[in-house]
Amino acid sequence: MRTPRFSLFHAGSAVVLLFVVVVTLYPFLHMLAVSLSGDIYVMKNEVTIWPKGLNFKMYEIVLGDSKMWTAFNNTLLYTSLGTLIAIIITSMGAYALSRKHMAFRKQLTMMIVFTMFFSGGMIPTFLVVRSLGFVDTLWGMVLPGAVSTWNLILMRTFFAGIPKELEESGRMDGLNDIGIFFRIFVPLSKASFATIALFYAVGLWNNFIFPLLYLRSPDLFPLQVLLRNLVLAGSVSSGEVTRIGGDNQIVEESLKYATIMVSSLPILIVYPFIQKYFVKGAMIGAVKG
Amino acid sequence: MAQAGSTQDRAMVEQALVPVRIKRNNTMRLWHQNKYLWLMFLPCLLYYLIFRYAPMFGLVITFKDYNLFRGIWDSDWVGLKYYRMFLENPDFLLLMKNTFLLGVYNLVFGFPAPIVLALLLNEVKGMIFKRFVQTVSYLPHFISNVIVASMVIMFLSPTGGLINNMITALGFDSINFMINPGMFRGIYVLSEIWQHIGWETIIYLAALTSVDPQLYEAASIDGASRMRKLWHVTLPGISFAIVITLILNIGSVLEIGFEKVFLLQNPAIYETADIISTYVYRVGLQQGNFSYGASIDLFMGIISLIFIYSANFISRRVSETSLW
């Protein structure tokens, strides 16, 4: 092969890739900078990527708001309980479907895959959730989304790839299918459990449509709903400056950015460390098509 | 005679019994072989029956005058009343058009974008730089729609939004993007690309690793330029992934995510931003027209099913690649 020289092609692709990086990161850096800047600089639109007149006032207001903490706790509860339930139901179901000797496996798989292409829709699903008495309860948040068909198929593919000999050795030792699953497959599949659990957790953390459809009382609202109410409600015609108690004049823009930063911070912080698990999960899907 | 008859009878009875006995044995064996697996599958089965299949049977309300207090069974049958109602509603055509156009724009611009990015990433020699670009570009995929929609609306705000600051800095008048119906589709599609372009490269990058390096060497020896190699080696190598993704995307053209459209829209731009799912939520669920909303939803669901079936059928004929 020829030694690659500096080419227009290389330079061009590097520029495009750098553009992608800047376009992705700049919005977050800008929001962080504005939320940490002094009011005057924000009003004059002077803040770009670096805070001017550094202060943490906005974060004190956001973190001092009890509604924020209630919402945060709710989200934490929905995410953790929801992920736990989802991972148990999904992994056991996926394991059963991955066993070649299970009767009616084909029919049950068909039944599940069909739901990817057709569903009853928003209103009949709401009526089912309502008739179960799950509206305005914790269960309305964690049960209607307990199994994602995509995740179920990912896990089934994964379990199907574990050598048959391991299952047979377990059977020799007198284990039944449940024993084989918990004693042999679960310990072997920690990484894939972590991956699927993370997919569920992110989905639950970010979920907006379930609380919109199924929750009524503000005490139960998760972070996403609170965020929408704080940032988006009436935002089209909102003014520049708001008063929050006393004479404390604050710039609405900085407050909103601070709220956004606080609620996306958990994911921004853990993201670099868990990123590889997500990619692994997406790869399992990619290989199978 | 009587004896002959009785042996004949007994033979017949035995013959009749044999399959029953085998059948019962089979049933018992089936049960013994599968009871643990079935038990493990049970929660999953219940989930699908309750949350996925029961709503499908709930679609019977589209033929009834559903009333929350009377329930499904006691509500009166009205036949196709609600189907006629939305087919005769002039807004329905507009909603169909909005849903279809938004989906098509998203497909036309959103589908090639990750392929281009994946091909560019594939050409990068420095592993650290490649990793860095990948890690950064996946990030927005994990940010919630509420946050993305908030960012879009705030950045486009005519008073102090990031984009309008740039526009005014260049000496132009600021633009009130979010109340301009002509801009909604562009804004939506761009935000979708921003959010998902990186994540969607993964499938193509995985396919790219499976392209045999010897093919590139052979092409180099034959004097192929970089562009020719891209065209004759790389693209055919990932054509399977491209076709499968394309089928899935065409099939789900009408299944536009509810959350982001709902969060980005406002009454001033309903003429382009209101799509079937947001209309079903607003008119069907919020205003309590359950039967009406559900019938529109079902109508679109069936069209969507036809879409994915046709996309798969055509692909099977043309490229011998298909989902099923």
What is the rounded CA–CA span in Å between residue B260 and residue B192?
Answer: 9
Contacting B residues, span 188-247, partner chain A, CB-CB under 8 Å: 194, 197-199, 202-203, 206-207, 217, 220, 226, 240-241, 244
Contacts of A253 in chain B (CB under 8 A): 154, 160
Buried-state track B7-27, b at ≥16 Cβ within 10 A, e below 16: eeeeeeeeeeeeeeeeeeeee
pLDDT of B1 higher than 50: no
What is the rounded CA–CA span in Å between residue B152 and residue A89?
Answer: 37
Listed as own residue / partner, the contacts of B71-78 with beta carbons closer than 8 Å and 24 or more positions apart are B72/A127, B78/B291
| A185 closest CA partner among A54, A281, A94 | A94
pLDDT band per the 50, 70, 90 thresholds, residue A289:
very low
Strand ranges, E, within chain A: 241-243, 249-251
Nearest chain B residue (CA) to A200? B142
Instruction: Give the architecture (CATH level 2) of B81-319.
Output: Orthogonal Bundle (1.10)
Higher pLDDT, B321 or B121: B121
Helix, strand, coil fractions of chain B, as percent rounded to 5: 80, 0, 20
pLDDT in tens, B66-88: 888 888 888 888 888 999 989 99
pLDDT in tens, A48-70: 888 888 888 888 888 888 889 99
Section A187-203 average pLDDT: 90
pLDDT in tens, B234-264: 898 888 889 888 888 887 888 888 999 999 9
End-to-end CA distance of chain A: 33
pLDDT in tens, A267-285: 888 888 888 787 877 776 5
The amino acid sitting at A238 is: S
**A interface mutation test: which of B143, B145, B281, B310 has the most A CBs within 10 A?**
B143
pLDDT of A288 higher than 60: no
Nearest chain A residue (CA) to B267? A236
pLDDT band per the 50, 70, 90 thresholds, residue A27:
very high
Outline where B48-180 has alpha helix (H): 54-58, 71-74, 81-88, 90-110, 112-123, 127-138, 145-155, 162-169
A243 — phi, psi (to 5°)?
Answer: -105, 130
Q: Enter the pTM of the model.
A: 0.87
> In the numeric block, which tokens belong to residue A191?
């990484």
> In the numeric block, which tokens belong to residue A216?
């009524």
pLDDT in tens, B31-43: 888 889 999 999 9
| The listed CATH number (1.10.3720.10, 3.30.450.90, 1.10.760.10, 1.10.443.10) that belongs to domain A59-289 | 1.10.3720.10
Nearest chain A residue (CA) to B220? A1
pLDDT band per the 50, 70, 90 thresholds, residue B125:
confident
Listed as own residue / partner, the contacts of B246-249 with beta carbons closer than 8 Å and 24 or more positions apart are B246/B111, B246/B311, B246/B315, B247/B308, B247/B311, B247/B312, B247/B315, B247/B321, B247/B322, B247/B323, B248/B308, B248/B323, B249/B107, B249/B110, B249/B111
Between A117, A121, A212, which is nearest B297 by CB?
A121
- 3-state class (DSSP) for residue B34: helix
pLDDT of A246 higher than 50: no
Between B57, B298, B305, which is nearest A121 by CB?
B298
Q: What sign results for the dihedral spanned by CA atoms B190, B196, B198, B204?
A: negative
Task: For chain A, give every domain's residue range.
Answer: 1-55, 59-289
pLDDT band per the 50, 70, 90 thresholds, residue A238:
very low
Higher pLDDT, B298 or B16: B298
Average pLDDT over all residues of chain A? 85
> In the numeric block, which tokens belong to residue B8?
């004949």
Please tell me the predicted confidence (pLDDT) of residue A181.
Answer: 94
Q: Which residues pair with B278 in a beta bridge?
A: none
Section B204-225 average pLDDT: 87
Average pLDDT over all residues of chain B? 87
pLDDT of A236 higher than 60: no
**B interface mutation test: which of A3, A17, A180 has the most B CBs within 10 A?**
A17
Section B134-148 average pLDDT: 92
pLDDT band per the 50, 70, 90 thresholds, residue A235:
very low
Q: Is the Cβ–Cβ distance between B290 and B284 less than 8 Å?
A: yes
Judged by CB atoms closer than 8 Å, whether chains meet at A267 and B124 is answered as no
pLDDT band per the 50, 70, 90 thresholds, residue B5:
low
Judged by CB atoms closer than 8 Å, whether chains meet at A176 and B36 is answered as yes
pLDDT of A138 higher than 70: yes
Please tell me the predicted confidence (pLDDT) of residue B159.
Answer: 78
* Lowest-confidence pick of A15-24, A208-217, A271-280: A271-280
Between B55, B129, B154, which is nearest A124 by CB?
B55
What is the rounded CA–CA span in Å between residue B155 and residue B163?
Answer: 6
Judged by CB atoms closer than 8 Å, whether chains meet at A24 and B140 is answered as yes
Nearest chain A residue (CA) to B257? A209
Section B208-215 average pLDDT: 87
| B300 closest CA partner among A99, A121, A170 | A121
Please tell me the predicted confidence (pLDDT) of residue A6.
Answer: 62
Please tell me the predicted confidence (pLDDT) of residue A57.
Answer: 85
Contacts of B178 in chain A (CB under 8 A): 236
ipTM score of complex = 0.88
Task: For chain B, give every domain's residue range.
Answer: 2-63, 81-319
Q: How far is CA B76 from CA B30, B63, B64, B286, B288, in A?
A: 44, 9, 5, 22, 16
Helix, strand, coil fractions of chain A, as percent rounded to 5: 75, 0, 25
Judged by CB atoms closer than 8 Å, whether chains meet at B142 and A206 is answered as yes
Judged by CB atoms closer than 8 Å, whether chains meet at B139 and A24 is answered as yes
